[in-house]
Copies of this chain bind each other. A is one copy, B any other.
Amino acid sequence: MLTLEEYIKMANDEINAIAYPSAPSGLYSPIAYTMQLGGKRLRPALVLMACDAFGGNVERALRPAVGLELFHNFTLLHDDVMDNADVRRGMPTVHKRWNANTAILSGDAMLSMSAQYIGQVDPNILPRVNELFHRTAMEIYEGQQYDMDFEVRNNVTINEYIEMIRLKTSVLIGCACKLGAIIAGASAEKAQALYDMGLSLGLAFQLQDDVLDVWGDEASFGKEIGGDIMNNKKTYLLIGAMQRAQGDDAIELRRWLNDSYAIRDKKVPAVRALYERLGVRQAANAAIEHYNALALESLSKADLPKEAHSAFERFINGLVGRVK
């Protein structure tokens, strides 16, 4: 087994080696731009790590790993159009630097490219790989739809929120793990155990993101703290607070949610204090620990060699303490 950083480097080297056609540049330049913006590259690294863990040939997992990262970046590209976001990884989004039509069409091309890359596996596993990838893609669109639906609803429950982030975020982490396992020739049961590990990991990861957006350190987190609070984003924390708040707390929370002109330096600390008073910070941390425990349980079921097991264990435990 290699270190996580080594798998990430392998993924990055392969991403940097993608040969984009030179024409039409209006189609391919935005794709190259998007892929060069960087990112954690966790998904392709997980594909490689899972393949290695089951004794597979990591070289054979490289193209599919890049395919999964292309797919992930396609979803970000189209999400940015839908959210009308200006900035991604500190740079202008594609629809700002070019225009919305370019972002739509280049995104479509990234989705088809991702299927081309993911399909570069042994023909005998191609049906399973195809089935896994396209089902995951459909679930992610469903998650994005629920996320948009939740914006205009005020009665979203914690269970609905968990189901939404399972679809929007976690299934792709599960897919990365299972894809690597399938390429390595793991049994259906073991591949599924690693999928389940990824799913729980993804839930813990997203909940940790919600927490970091409120209590994170700006320098380490890499983006402004309190964005979710300013946007009234229905995270685990806000949904929990809306359910728990009574009397004066409920009045204060409602006042902040309705105040379109609230100043950041006032609203963020006030809502943060409310979250702490109402116990939702504690509840979120407990949920993160719960999903981490589930991830470790699924990892055990994958029955990996000791070294590989330890590598994933470090990965999971590293997530709880992460600051970015």
Q: Which residues of A contact B (CB under 8 A)?
A: 21, 23-24, 26-27, 78, 81-82, 100-101, 104-105, 107-109, 111-113, 115-116, 119, 123-124, 126-127, 130-131, 134-135, 137-138, 141-142, 144-146, 148-149
Task: List, sorted by A's number, 25 A–B pairs whose CB atoms are closer than 8 Å.
Answer: A24-B145, A26-B145, A26-B148, A26-B149, A27-B142, A78-B108, A81-B101, A81-B104, A82-B105, A101-B148, A105-B141, A105-B144, A105-B145, A108-B141, A109-B138, A112-B137, A113-B134, A113-B138, A116-B134, A116-B138, A119-B131, A123-B126, A126-B126, A126-B127, A130-B130
Q: Give every chain B residue within 8 A of A144 (Cβ-Cβ).
A: 105
Please measure, in the bound complex, the distance between the C-alpha atom of A115 and the C-alpha atom of B115, giving whole angstroms: 9
What are the 4 closest A-B residue pairs judged by CB atoms, nearest first? A27-B145, A112-B137, A24-B145, A109-B141
Contact between chains at B109 and A112 (CB < 8 Å): no
Please measure, in the bound complex, the distance between the C-alpha atom of A142 and the C-alpha atom of B23, giving whole angstroms: 8
Please name the residue on chain B nearest to A24 by beta carbon.
B145
Number of copies of this protein chain within its complex: 2
Contact between chains at B126 and A141 (CB < 8 Å): no
Q: Residue among A78, A81, A142 with the most chain B CB within 10 A?
A: A142
Contact between chains at B111 and A24 (CB < 8 Å): no
Please measure, in the bound complex, the distance between the C-alpha atom of A134 and the C-alpha atom of B24, giving whole angstroms: 17
Contact between chains at B130 and A119 (CB < 8 Å): yes
What DSSP secondary structure best describes chain A's contact surface?
helix
Please measure, in the bound complex, the distance between the C-alpha atom of A78 and the C-alpha atom of B127, giving whole angstroms: 28
Q: A105-B148, A113-B138, A126-B126 are in contact. List 10 more A-B contacts (CB 8 A).
A: A24-B142, A100-B100, A105-B141, A108-B108, A108-B111, A111-B111, A111-B112, A119-B131, A123-B127, A126-B130
Q: Give every chain B residue within 8 A of A137 (Cβ-Cβ).
A: 112
Give the distance to chain B from A109, nearest Cβ to Cβ, in Å: 4
